[in-house]
Amino acid sequence: MARWDLYLAASTDMSMICPLYDASNMSLDLALNRPGRLSFNYPLNEFSLNFSSIGRCVVLVYNGQIYWSGPILSFNRNLPGETINVVAVGWQELLYHRELRTKTTYTTQFRGAIIHDLLNIANLQHDTWMNVGTTTDDAPAISKTFEQGSNIGQGIEEMTSIEAGPDITVDPATRDLNIKAWDEYVDRTGVVWSYGWGPANLESFSENVDGASIINRLNVYGKNSDTTGYLTEDAVSQGLYNLFETSVTLSSVSDTSILAAYGEAELLYKKNPRVTYQFQPIAGDDQPLVFRDFQLGDKCYLKAKFQNIVAVDQPVRVFSCNLQIDENSNPKMTNMVTVAS
């Protein structure tokens, strides 16, 4: 039987202080390349005085293995309900409260190396409790200048957001910040959510087709006027849907090949109406579970069948989700955000 345990620990070294047996309504929000957050309720008793911001953290354990961890960010005491609501965040959140104290320039470097160097800079200011981990980022090198006062967390986020940017994770046990190439995701052929077919493990399913998202002529501009821009368009899409044109500026990019790669990738994805899916998995430990059965960014599978009207058989990548754990340690995945792969 699945067992979920929550512990209070010291943020400095993650030494366990005590279990939080009376924690309830645990809700874990997760998003690729973002810190994430865990909220829960606890009785408003003398023990609740042990909660403190930042200096204390929580550690979520699943069947004896550390599943997620992060410092307590905030809490509020409620009367007459006599409960305290606690919000903890992923360790990465600390980087969003740091700034570069000098202008910092990187010349022809991998984004993974830039991310790790930004972490090193933050640690030299004051220990973030995170360590430089591994990196397998192999996207084209870039040159980038961060002005004095630039937010370090936002700078790291920018490095993951540029076309072919790497993905980052913070190990919940070691707090190593690890980096991998965007296309290193795993094809989880065994992770299937379906409606009206196969395991039928979805409570609900909806499909949305959005023509407003079409782009079939795209101008991509770089860092400044000295950088040659890139134009790409799709005549077939224009014939089917009419002309939908827009421009985008990648203010940190001076390499035309990167502008071209970005433009072609964007056009491939946006030349047709965007099709998105919303679905609600059923609860249960025997259902696909994030971190256990798949990681954020991995390829999974979505299927839906309804008469001869709906017929979806689509690989998807999962970019964010919510995990709820009830008082009986029963997990339920909600708010699934996926992109067709």
- Give the Cα separation of 6 and 20 in Å (integer): 5
Q: Are the C-beta atoms of 252 and 142 separated by less than 8 Å? A: yes
Write the burial class of residue 289 (CB in 10 Å: 0-12 exposed, 13-18 middle, 19+ buried).
Answer: buried
Say how many domains are in the chain: 4
Residue 303: alpha-carbon gap to chain centroid: 23
Instruction: Say which CATH number the domain at 157 has.
Output: 3.55.50.10
pLDDT for residue 135? 97
Query: Are both 321 and 197 inside the same structural domain?
Result: yes
Structural domain boundaries, residue 191: 187-210+274-340
Query: Are both 98 and 157 inside the same structural domain?
Result: yes
- Tell me which of 40, 69, 89 is where a domain ends: 89
Query: Are both 46 and 30 inside the same structural domain?
Result: yes
Each residue of 294-304: b (16+ CB within 10 Å) or e?
Answer: bbbbbbbbbbb
Query: Are both 195 and 122 inside the same structural domain?
Result: no
pLDDT for residue 51? 95
Q: Are the C-beta atoms of 215 and 247 separated by less than 8 Å? A: no
Query: Are both 200 and 164 inside the same structural domain?
Result: no
pLDDT for residue 139? 86
Give the phi and the psi of residue 192 in degrees, each rounded to 5: -130, 130
Query: Are both 18 and 157 inside the same structural domain?
Result: no
pLDDT for residue 250? 86
Query: Are both 13 and 68 inside the same structural domain?
Result: yes
Of 224, 232, 216, 273, the residue nearest 249 (C-alpha): 224
pLDDT for residue 255? 84
Query: Are both 71 and 27 inside the same structural domain?
Result: yes
- Tell me which of 89, 111, 142 is where a domain ends: 89
Query: Are both 309 and 202 inside the same structural domain?
Result: yes
Per-residue pLDDT of the chain (341 residues; tens, 9 = 90+): 789 999 999 999 999 999 999 999 999 999 999 999 999 999 999 888 899 999 999 999 999 999 999 999 999 999 999 999 999 999 999 999 999 999 999 999 999 999 999 999 999 999 999 999 999 999 888 889 999 999 999 999 999 988 778 999 999 999 999 999 999 999 999 999 999 988 999 999 988 889 999 999 999 999 888 889 999 999 999 999 999 999 999 887 888 888 998 899 899 989 999 888 889 999 999 999 999 999 999 999 999 999 988 889 999 999 999 999 998 899 999 999 888 88
Give the phi and the psi of residue 76 in degrees, each rounded to 5: -135, 140
Query: Are both 250 and 264 inside the same structural domain?
Result: yes
- Give the Cα separation of 170 and 296 in Å (integer): 12
- Tell me which of 180, 200, 227 is where a domain ends: 180
- pTM higher than 0.75: yes
- Give the Cα separation of 108 and 144 in Å (integer): 8
Query: Are both 203 and 328 inside the same structural domain?
Result: yes
Of 42, 93, 46, 51, the residue nearest 72 (C-alpha): 51
pLDDT for residue 339? 82
Query: Are both 200 and 319 inside the same structural domain?
Result: yes
Task: Retrieve residue 215's tokens.
Answer: 């782009």
